Amino acid sequence: MKITLERYHGLGNDYVVYDPGKNELQLNTENVKMICNRNLGLGSDGVLEGPILGEDGLSVRIWNPDGSIAEKSGNGVRIFAKYLKDAGYVQKKTFTLKTDGGDVEIVYLNEDGSRLRVSMGKLSFWSDDIPVTGERREVINEDMVFGRTLYPATCVSIGNPHCVIPMREISEPLVCKIGNYSEVARYFPNRINTQIMKVIDQENIAIEIFERGAGYTLASGTGACAAAGVAYKLGLTNSKVVVHMPGGELMVEVTEDWEVYMTGDVFYVAKICLSNEFTEKLRAL
């Protein structure tokens, strides 16, 4: 049986959807890595496996390109929600999607489901929620060493862990330089996502992103939410900001009790039918 995947992207962050109801392949670390390999495979920032049907609703499993599981992905859940509408699984304007990092509430803002508002959950700055080593505390503006350089880091969880570093100037080389060390730093027992952030004004910030298990990415929904939350927590911005990333923009709103809402677009690219030869290689892994 041939394997078919659907490719989407959210602000240049590209995923393929693997629907287990339409395919016969058990995903694992090795075949996910092969699918996501941009030279030897299809190429992707991750695989969205689902819908996984349970008594309590629809869920999605989010695979990183290194074959690890991500608790949550902002672009990923928007893309998957678009797929659910395209494939006829969801007809309502609002529904709840389950992830390993908690439930998210999806609202379709247009007819074809390409623009969505997502309730991403609650931000926590507490070290045991993120997690960060050491005594229990809110990890706010702490000095952390990455690659022999000291940075003022604020860490936060939105179902997955983030380290945000405010800077005057940001760039791809700089976030990669920091991220290669911060992802696996001793502070973070479960590794961490890293954003360097430039505050433009009270209603706009810009970030560059290095994702755990993926490396440099053009956009990140959870990264945008984390950075917006940190900017607000530090008193640098208002509670509602536009987050500018190399792949595009997301609107992020932080409530008084630290619930976060994200609004943005996703795009359908193609339906992909894998060759028999490639499918057999995946089955053998």
Domains observed in the chain? 4-114+267-284 (3.10.310.10), 122-264 (3.10.310.10)
Which pLDDT score is estimated for 47? Answer: 98
- The whole-angstrom separation of Cα 48 and Cα 73 is 10
For residue 230, what pLDDT band results from cuts at 50, 70 and 90? very high
Which pLDDT score is estimated for 72? Answer: 92
Known binding site: residues? Answer: 13, 64, 74-75, 160, 193, 211-212, 221-222
List all residues 6 or more positions away from 58 whose beta carbon is below 8 Å from its beta carbon. Answer: 50, 51, 52, 84, 89, 90, 95, 97, 98
pTM over 0.75: yes
Can you tell me the mean pLDDT for 6-25?
A: 96
SS3 content of the chain, % helix, strand, coil (to 5): 20, 40, 40
Residue 2: pLDDT over 90: no
Which pLDDT score is estimated for 56? Answer: 82
Can you tell me the mean pLDDT for 61-80?
A: 95
Asked if residues 222 and 100 have their Cβ atoms less than 8 Å apart, the reply is no
For residue 57, what pLDDT band results from cuts at 50, 70 and 90? confident
Residue 157: pLDDT over 90: yes
Which pLDDT score is estimated for 184? Answer: 97
Residue 1: pLDDT over 80: no
Known binding site for substrate: residues? Answer: 13, 64, 74-75, 160, 193, 211-212, 221-222
Which pLDDT score is estimated for 272? Answer: 97
Count CA atoms closer than 13 A to 44's CA, side-chain side: 30
